[in-house]
Amino acid sequence: MTAPSGTWFQPARRAGARRPALACLLGALGTACALGAACGASPPASAVVPGPQPAAPVVPPGAAAPQSPPVVEAPAVTQTAAPQNLIFPDESFRATQPVAGAPRPLSLPRIKPFSLRNGIKVYLVTQHALPIVSLDLNIDGGTRVDPPGKEGLASLCMSLVNEGTVALDKIAYNEALADLASTINTYAASDSHGVSLSSLSKNLEPTLALFRQTLLSPGLRAEDLDRLGKRRIEALRQAKGTPSSIAGRVSDALLFGPAHPAGSLETEETTARITLEDCKQHVASWLRPRGARLFVVGDMTEAQVRRAFDGPELASWTGAAPRLSALPRPQTLPGRLFLVHVPGAAQSQVQLLHFGPKRVTPEYFATTLLGAVFGGGFTSRINMNLREDKGYSYGARGGFSYTRDYGMFAAGASVRTDATYQSLLEIDRELKALWAGKRPVSAEELEREKTGAILSLPGRFATANAALGQYRGLVYFGLPLDYYASYVAKISRVTARDVSAAAARNLRPGQAVYLVVGDADAKMITRDDQGKDVPLQKDGKALTLREALADLATRGELGSGGLVMLDADANVVQPAAAGR
């Protein structure tokens, strides 16, 4: 199997090969490198004996110095490591995986919500165990409010906010933060944007002073925008160079439609149109306190939060961001199979996409376990199929994901170029087997995923930032703040019948679209009835990926719609051919 690009392998050391000399220095204290050959050095010809040594002979003036006897090099000594006596225990108990212990009671950090005078809703988790504070000021907006023709505006302008203040240019701003060992970051997500902070408790006050300056008087300099814009344009060009990054770009445009805010694409052209005045207007309109959410976790009390954000320093910061407009109905691109040609690609990216239930569905726990069995981890069905059984991929994943307004199901993998066609068929077959109940979730699979979900729950709160993210997610989806108090009980109650019912309702192969990004001219293989990979042929001719997908679309095995060729910006370059 061809290794994916960017993957390297370290050859195993030969049996009996000599260890580097440095390895001897890393041994236990008092251990000497007595056996030089084992440490990469030849044995010494003689040992130095401590104590008095004989004096050198005195040579009279004018006399010739005595000749030293010729040096005879000791013959090289090769020491061969003795073969290891390996023992492979075969006790009967090793054939059975140990049973996981009962979940321990989980003590979750308490969260306290309260409001500030300026309209910010605070969610505070006070933890004094470590002298650190993390906070995130989150405001509605994000890339959802990018104007048509200037996609990427929210992301670029929020990056510009983090390039310094009116009083401090970029270098001085970063040096001030570095002196405090603190960080301030800005971001723009799909439907929100914000400013975050991390600080040691002892440096919190000066860090908060910089945070307030960032909110009230960001620098917004033309030279910084020019530099950031050029970097983003180069990053966009690079994103069109590999199948995985192209798939990440076009998948939302394919599912939602390029005219939908969730499917719009930032390009080099849209980025180049963004001006400094655009950013100034965006920041003035959307970086406002009323209706914002402030998540705080760490060594900080309610009184400290109120002093920091309700004090006179932010008295002039008022108002609310504009209300988000209603989203239009998604318009999935017409077609069934979509192909982006990347000449010479060493791998292909294969994806299956369709809409799913929203995050607040009563079936959330059943669909979560369903997604885990299908593609959630190493032992999931599609990974065991494509990686372990057939060797087409180093990893395949799938499952449900959510935004505030939508739920999606996606499955995919980076696969060997010649196995692209067969990999697509395998993912589709695994999905339909679950959906139709031909291969329902087994008791073993269900127990494995339930146990994993329950035992991994404490890890979601292992750090201050991790806990902040969990509570932020609850607020984002409109879930109760005590949601995790009943998490273990709810997931424990899910049965195999619940998961099968969820599969029948929420897996939708008839509505799925299939995205393939790779070398359209590469020859394909298929798996025959004997389980061997053989060249894919039709009428005696070896088929390329383009031809194989066109034939698959014509046969209608994945549904009607045909094959559509796209470019790396999700523009249609070849509409679906007439047919099924």
Residue range 534-551, pLDDT digits in tens: 999 999 999 999 999 999
Same domain assignment for residues 152 and 273: yes
Domain final residue pick, 283, 299, 314: 314
| CB neighbour class for 526 (10 Å; exposed up to 12, middle 13-18, buried from 19) | middle
Residue 93 belongs to some domain of the structure: no
- Mapped onto helix, strand or coil, the DSSP state of residue 163 is coil
Which pLDDT band holds residue 40 (cuts at 50, 70, 90)? very low
Residues in a beta bridge with 537: 542
From 63-77, 222-236, 301-315, 391-405, the region with the lowest mean pLDDT: 63-77
Contact 248, 205 (CB under 8 A): no
Same domain assignment for residues 344 and 237: no
Q: Per residue, what are the HEC states of 300-316?
A: CCHHHHHHHHCCHHHCC
Can you give the pLDDT at residue 68? 59
Can you give the pLDDT at residue 480? 95
Can you give the pLDDT at residue 21? 35
Residue 34 belongs to some domain of the structure: no
State the average pLDDT over residues 361-386.
Answer: 97
- Mapped onto helix, strand or coil, the DSSP state of residue 393 is strand
Contact 294, 194 (CB under 8 A): no
Same domain assignment for residues 378 and 309: no
State the average pLDDT over residues 463-473.
Answer: 89
Residue 542 belongs to some domain of the structure: yes
State the average pLDDT over residues 508-532.
Answer: 96
Same domain assignment for residues 126 and 271: yes
Can you say whether residue 367 is alpha, beta or left, with left for phi > 0 and alpha for psi between -120 and 50 degrees?
alpha
- Look at residue 446 and tell me whether its pLDDT is greater than 90: yes
Residue 229 is part of which domain span? 112-314
Can you give the pLDDT at residue 255? 97
Number of domains in the chain: 2
Contact 179, 209 (CB under 8 A): no
Residue 45 belongs to some domain of the structure: no
Percentage of residues of the chain with pLDDT beyond 90? 78
According to DSSP, the β-strands at 347-356 and 407-416 are antiparallel
Same domain assignment for residues 378 and 301: no
Rounded to the nearest integer, the mean pLDDT of the chain is 88
Residue 151 belongs to some domain of the structure: yes
State the average pLDDT over residues 487-491.
Answer: 95
Same domain assignment for residues 161 and 304: yes
Residue 219 belongs to some domain of the structure: yes
State the average pLDDT over residues 271-298.
Answer: 97
Residue 83 belongs to some domain of the structure: no
> What phi and psi, each to the nearest 5 degrees, are found at residue 142?
75, -160
State the average pLDDT over residues 507-532.
Answer: 96
Q: How many degrees, rounded to 5, is the angle at CA 159 between CA 156 and CA 162?
A: 155
Which of residues 21 and 522 earns the better pLDDT score?
522
CA 109 to the chain's CA centroid: 26
Residue entry with tokens 């080099």 = 268
Same domain assignment for residues 367 and 441: yes
Same domain assignment for residues 304 and 350: no
- Look at residue 32 and tell me whether its pLDDT is greater than 50: no
State the average pLDDT over residues 243-264.
Answer: 96
Can you give the pLDDT at residue 577? 56
- Look at residue 358 and tell me whether its pLDDT is greater than 90: yes
Which pLDDT band holds residue 69 (cuts at 50, 70, 90)? low
State the average pLDDT over residues 238-246.
Answer: 95
According to DSSP, the β-strands at 337-341 and 513-518 are parallel
Residue 102 belongs to some domain of the structure: no
Which of residues 38 and 114 earns the better pLDDT score?
114
- What letter represents residue 373's amino acid? V
Residues in the chain: 580
Domain containing 224 — which CATH number? 3.30.830.10
Same domain assignment for residues 378 and 264: no
Residue 214 CB partners (closer than 8 Å, separation 6+): 161, 162, 165, 184, 186, 195
- Look at residue 437 and tell me whether its pLDDT is greater than 60: yes
From 21-25, 67-71, 177-181, 504-508, the region with the lowest mean pLDDT: 21-25
Can you give the pLDDT at residue 29? 31
Same domain assignment for residues 222 and 342: no
Same domain assignment for residues 258 and 373: no
Can you give the pLDDT at residue 130? 92
Same domain assignment for residues 304 and 344: no
> What phi and psi, each to the nearest 5 degrees, are found at residue 535?
-60, 140
Domain final residue pick, 282, 314, 346: 314
